[in-house]
Amino acid sequence: MKHVCAAALISAAFAVPAAAQEIKIGYALAEDSHYGAGAKAFEESLKESLGDQFTFRHFPSSGLGGEREVIEGVQLGTVEMTIVSSGTLSNFVPEAGVFDVPFLMRNLDHARAVLDGEIGQEMLAKFDDVGMHALAWGEQGFRHITNNRGPIETPADTEGLKIRTMENPVHLEAFNALGAAPTPMAWPEVIGALEQGAIDGQENPLSVIVSAKLNEVQKYLTLDGHVYSPAIILISPQFWGNLDDSQKAAFDEAAKASVAAMRGYVDEVEASGVATLRDAGMEVNELTDEQKAVFRDALAEPYKSYEAQFGKELMDRIQAVE
Ligand code: PAF
């Protein structure tokens, strides 16, 4: 008995706290972007609930590569977590491409209601079937066109415009139908291609245009809000599978905090971003609802193909969300 007690005392004296597990989290934008805000909020929430069990190592500004490579890293388990756009998601879960359909979401409130509701949650569950776990839908905002050629008011103004799109077939089809010359490209190459004039323009939400300082390489901004751009928080299934139930619950809570931070950033930049970009020298025009309707009508053909791919029923269900 004496021996057992002594052994217990000795092991208690030399006990070291279990080593914290490192979480590598990769994202395409700077730490002061909406992704940085989301990643930081996630880390803080987890620290509050689980103390020092996990440490975060941030890889902002595409530090782990383009979004497709990072998602593949999450599948392989070499990257624990990422926050990414929907750019390459439909290569992994084709149905998720429905959120990339132009002019489908009416406004931020509508998009948030869709993603937080049944449709968004059903879509998140599909990621478990393709070797990753999706914690929540985050947000970038509505995408707008920037370019160096001139203001865009009608589809004719996009004629032949060398515009970088995400590696996303839904977007590619829309810009082709408008008569533009879309070039799908991974984000890490975009600023260089704009600087060198290899492309005329690109399209992204204000959150990206402001945080990536695209005003330094682009003259014109057209606020056309052609498509809502969600983000998603993905976690590697190997890592997720090793968490116990209470840890998983803490990660789910942290994901909520992360989404709130991303949306807060988007709300803020929607309010102040245009003034920031004008002050930085960009020429900004905003399409009226009538002008947007002309763009929407020019997408009649792609719309038939979107309905064939994703199902008219799903698209109607999305539009019916209040
Ligand atoms: O345009 C893109 O590829 C994405 O919106 C970006 C900037 C990488 C953010 O996810």
* Residue closest by Cα to atom 10 of ligand 1: 85
- Ligand 1 centre to CA of 187 (Å) is 6
* pLDDT mean over 66-82: 98
Q: Which atom of ligand 1 has the smallest separation from the CA of 84?
A: 10
pLDDT number for residue 112: 98
Q: pLDDT tens digits for 301-319?
A: 999 999 999 999 999 999 9
Encoding tokens for residue 192?
Answer: 């260089």
Q: pLDDT tens digits for 197-219?
A: 999 999 999 999 999 999 999 99
Ligand 1, residues 140, 170, 189: which to mutate, most atoms within 8 A of Cβ?
Answer: 140
User: Are 212 and 234 spatial neighbours (Cβ–Cβ below 8 Å)?
Assistant: no
pLDDT number for residue 316: 98
Q: Which domains does the chain have, with CATH numbers?
A: 19-320 (3.40.190.170)
Other CB atoms within 10 Å distance of the CB of residue 109: 11
- For the chain, the average pLDDT equals 95
* pLDDT mean over 60-79: 98
Q: What is the 3-state secondary structure (H, E, C) of 242-304?
A: CCCHHHHHHHHHHHHHHHHHHHHHHHHHHHHHHHHHHHCCCEEEECCHHHHHHHHHCCHHHHH
Q: Which atom of ligand 1 has the smallest separation from the CA of 208?
A: 7
Q: Which residues line ligand 1 (CB under 6 A)?
A: 28-29, 67, 84-85, 87, 140, 166, 187, 204, 208, 229
- Ligand 1 centre to CA of 225 (Å) is 15
* Percent of the chain residues topping a pLDDT of 90: 94
Q: pLDDT tens digits for 166-184?
A: 999 999 999 999 999 999 9
pLDDT-derived band at 19 (thresholds 50, 70, 90) equals confident
- Ligand 1 centre to CA of 245 (Å) is 33
* pLDDT mean over 240-244: 98
Strand segments (E) across 148-196: 162-165, 181-184
pLDDT number for residue 16: 52
Side-chain half-sphere of 298: how many Cα atoms within 13 Å?
A: 21
pLDDT number for residue 57: 98
Is a pLDDT exceeding 50 seen at residue 125?
yes
pLDDT number for residue 191: 98
Other CB atoms within 10 Å distance of the CB of residue 245: 7
Distance CA 180, CA 110 (A): 29
pLDDT-derived band at 15 (thresholds 50, 70, 90) equals low
Ligand 1, residues 86, 144, 166, 209: which to mutate, most atoms within 8 A of Cβ?
Answer: 166
pLDDT number for residue 12: 47
What is the H or E stretch that residue 50 is in? Answer: helix 34-50
Distance CA 201, CA 234 (A): 29
Is a pLDDT exceeding 60 seen at residue 87?
yes
Distance CA 224, CA 285 (A): 9
- Ligand 1 centre to CA of 316 (Å) is 27
| CA distances, 301 to each of 174, 235, 240, 271 (Å) | 9, 36, 42, 34
* pLDDT mean over 262-287: 98
Among 2-11, 114-123, 285-294, which is the least confidently predicted range?
2-11
Sequence-distant (6+) residues with CB within 8 A of 102 are: 170, 171, 174, 226, 227, 295, 296, 299, 302
Q: Which atom of ligand 1 has the smallest separation from the CA of 85?
A: 10
